[in-house]
Structure 1
Amino acid sequence: MARPRSASDEAVLTVLREAETPMSAYQVLDRLRPQGIQSPPVVYRALERLEKAGQIHRLEGLNAYFACCGRDHAKGTVFAVCTACRRVEEWSAEGIDALLGAAATAAGFAIAGRTIEVRGLCAACRGEAIEAEPHGLHSHGPGCGCGHEH
């Protein structure tokens, strides 16, 4: 049976659900100060409990947290981080997990955990970047999908 969440857990989860982009623990704390939460350890403990419960994710590359989209992560997840807007998408890592498992088995390695993060431009930011570039002055190549002739 799941342990009931504390008031601080609920407050942290609400902040992360309302955020458009991942937040550091101190950014979460700054949002919670008006509610009387002043102590970093309170936020860190809440983040730890929420992560353990699968309600939030930690992006190791950014050292930031965001609310889980609610999808099943049993087959693994890839976190796609947009370097322009900082939004995060959760993708299924089913095929990647199978490859990692096979490689680990072949090497006699026991995987204790993994976080897969990729960085790039999301569809919206990529579209804005392509439209903002004058024709012929971008670094895309044949087959890049930008719609320009190369």
Structure 2
Amino acid sequence: MEKIIQDRISKKGGIGFTGRPPGQDQRMEVLTEDLLKYGLIPELIGRLPIIVTLDPLDEDALVDILVKPRNSLIKQFSRYFEMEGARLTVSEEALRRIAREALAKKIGARGLRAILERLFEDVLFELPGQGAGSVYHLGEDLVVRRIERAA
């Protein structure tokens, strides 16, 4: 795709201030004609009213996704623990390790839930039988062990 965009831009013959150095990010300039040349069929392109390019998420963004939204994944799991009379705490290092795992597997934000489900699988099964007032702490060491065990 980048080559298609570069070819189109270079045909315009930009010089001076309008020129763009080769290799500079040109994803923001994707046109429907670029998608056609890339191989998408016109019927599909016609169903895309807006073409937007996104930057990949980094570790900080994934950690924010885990904890900041009103209904974040960590808050959802915490509420489940609270319904069973328990409390969940998660360390910053554990959150960062979870984010790095999502980056390493290239599964992005959508894969965070799958990672958490795998981490809490045993605990969620045993949680209803535990006494009220139990506290579960998810630290980086536990995240590493469970990820290695699942691999």
- The two structures have a TM-score, normalised by structure 2, of 0.23
Identify the structure with the greater strand proportion: 1
Name the one with the larger helix percent: 2
State the structure with more CA Rg.
2
Instruction: Report the TM-score when normalising by structure 1.
Output: 0.23
